[in-house]
Amino acid sequence: MEKVIVGVSGGVDSAVALILLKNQGYDVEGLFMRNWDSTINNDVLGNPNDLDDICPQEKDYNDALELCNSLHIKLHRIDFIKEYWDYVFTYFLDELKKGRTPNPDLLCNRYIKFDLFVKHAMDLGADYIATGHYARIKNGKLFRAVDLNKDQTYFLADVRPENFRNVLFPIGDYTKDEVRKIALDYNLNVARKKDSTGICFIGERNFQKFTQNYLKPNPGDIVDVKTKEVIGRHNGLMNYTIGQRRNVGISGYSDRHYVCGKDVEKNILYVAFGSDNEYLESDSCIIENVNFISGLRPTFCTAKFRYRDKDHPVELEYLENNEIMVKYSGGASAVTPGQACVLYLGEECLGCGFIKSVYKNNEKLWYLAN
């Protein structure tokens, strides 16, 4: 009997993954990963759970343990707290310092869930590993989930292709409603548990306060990108995202306005006025550190620049140093350095790169942190 070790998070998706694999006749065991410790990591400001008697990670572990006991499945536990800090959180902080928009979930999948977790599971004798991700694997290739609203291939696009060889995604062929129904039919303890949100393995935080645990705010000028006039003061570039329209920090202006850029060296936050989004528009970008899961290298495909983004038709020009020029026209707004550009060919997720610089009419957008 082939052995599968499932990453059990204490949530409903991984719980149903256990059920499905057990019903398919696999020898199933669970593995709970603890990758964040609020005490060790000085996670005080912005933490809504700071005064709780038991931290959310331990609550999740208790839920996972109760689940596995009810299903007569062995549950292992491993801590990757140091590794998460070294490989994921340090990157997150470094990107914020550069004025970029990081996505730690992609790094979490690349270095923790589909690297360290895989290696540990194999040491425990696993033939396969499985998780509760909404995605599908076919012959080592990554495809979108049946439930496109829950599809998580965007976050999996930076995983090394060799680390998908022995991976199963049992719930990729199910909708979220179907997964909930299975959990309810089996009367699982986590059947009605809410989905986790926020930063991977950390959870929901007041972002502005949370980052102050690790980075000292550096207030500076807010500048009108068109007139170059100083119109206000910001409380640290890390607290703003490109395209942000609320709580920008300027008063006395009735016109609509939005964050359109950052200059880290001069510590300037650029703001544009109007509803035409002129300063959020671009038509090409260069992506770096490209990771291809697929063997395909198309000239034309589609791309997503954010998780909830639509598919944009793009043309790819392959450059040196593992970089690609991605060309697009119309509809792509707030394409931002640091974000992942994930490439698709139909249902297949080809891989991704991280946005290095952004252009319009062959000119680099000077007001972005390129």
Parallel, antiparallel, or unpaired: how do β-strands 363-364 and 348-360 relate? antiparallel
Q: CA–CA separation, 36 vs 264, rounded Å? A: 29
> Which residue reads 């990453």 in tokens?
7
- From the candidates 55, 68, 108, 349, give the one annotated as an active-site residue: 108
- Token readout for 88 is 């994921």
Q: Would you give the distance in Å from CA 57 to the centre of its chain?
A: 19
Parallel, antiparallel, or unpaired: how do β-strands 348-360 and 284-292 relate? antiparallel
Instruction: Confirm whether 200 is a catalytic residue.
Output: yes
E-only strand ranges, the chain: 3-7, 27-34, 75-79, 128-130, 136-138, 141-143, 167-168, 220-224, 230-234, 257-263, 268-273, 284-292, 300-304, 312-318, 324-327, 340-345, 348-360, 363-364
DSSP symbol at 194: P
- Token readout for 231 is 């119109």
Look up residue 316 and give its amino acid: L
Q: CA–CA separation, 176 vs 155, rounded Å? A: 18
Which among 325, 346, 339 is positioned nearest to 141, based on CA atoms? 346
- Token readout for 103 is 């996505």
- From the candidates 200, 260, 285, 349, give the one annotated as an active-site residue: 200
List beta partners, residue 351. 292, 343
Instruction: Confirm whether 349 is a catalytic residue.
Output: no
List beta partners, residue 152. none
Outline where 186-247 has alpha helix (H).
Answer: 207-211
Which among 145, 9, 173, 122 is positioned nearest to 75, based on CA atoms? 9
- Active-site residue numbers? 108, 200
